[in-house]
Amino acid sequence: MLSTAAALRAARPDADLILSMDPDHMPWGPRGHDAVVARVIAGAEAAAAAVPGGAPDAVVVPCNTASVHGLVALRSRFEPDVPVIGTVPPIKPAAENGGRIAVWATIATTASRYQSDLIERYAPGGRATPVACAGLAEAVESADPERVAEAVAYAAERTPADTRGVVLGCTHYDLVDTEISAVLGSGPALFTAAQAVAAQTLRRIGTGPAPGAAPTGTLRVLASGRPSDLPKAALAYPAGQALAQGPMAD
């Protein structure tokens, strides 16, 4: 979730952010539908409970796997009082760019009907190649450069040579976009969702970006419901470093 949280922080430096992580039950990618839904609901409820009155301005789901499986349940739980904003793999803008695309995602998202429907809608006729990036999200979590390099190489080998656009269908992958571009070369463009999700969040809560606002927004981190600090691995990435610069909530 770091890339989306950093995009929100850049757009609204005055916003208070609660990052509800789930290290006790990661990775989610290989889990079944019901298990993912249970973890999504638990994480959102823990975050909501940390807000005075239990009513956050919005619940943002900066994870494709969580969105694919959990958005219906989350919206049933929180809306209409609290808007729920999911993350959609940016297949549409990648397809509109022209040429063949590859959709890099977790095993669970790659196998989902949700992603298949997006591909059929925006890139039909075999224009999109789904690539299940085994181990990449976990490698990013570890912040281990060797593991990241191995996982990126694995996915790149399964990406057709004539690909013009690569959809980063997991927000973890945003954190290693430089490494991905280095392996793929200058041919394909990368498409991520973080900026779009941040913009949609501000629209849903009825405000706009204020990048020049005073940096007064606090950061609170939950680890499977427990108060925590940003994981050390998060500080290996620019997005994590940007979030760590702001004040922590009491």
Q: Helix (H) and strand (E) counts for the chain?
A: 11, 9
Q: Whose CA is closest to 13, among 205, 214, 240?
A: 214
CB atoms within 10 A of CB 49: 13
Token representation of residue 200:
């949609």
Cα dihedral sign, 142-148-154-155? positive
Peptide bond into 80 cis (omega under 30): yes
Task: Give the catalytic positions in this structure.
Answer: 63, 170
The tokens of 174 are what?
Answer: 């945003």
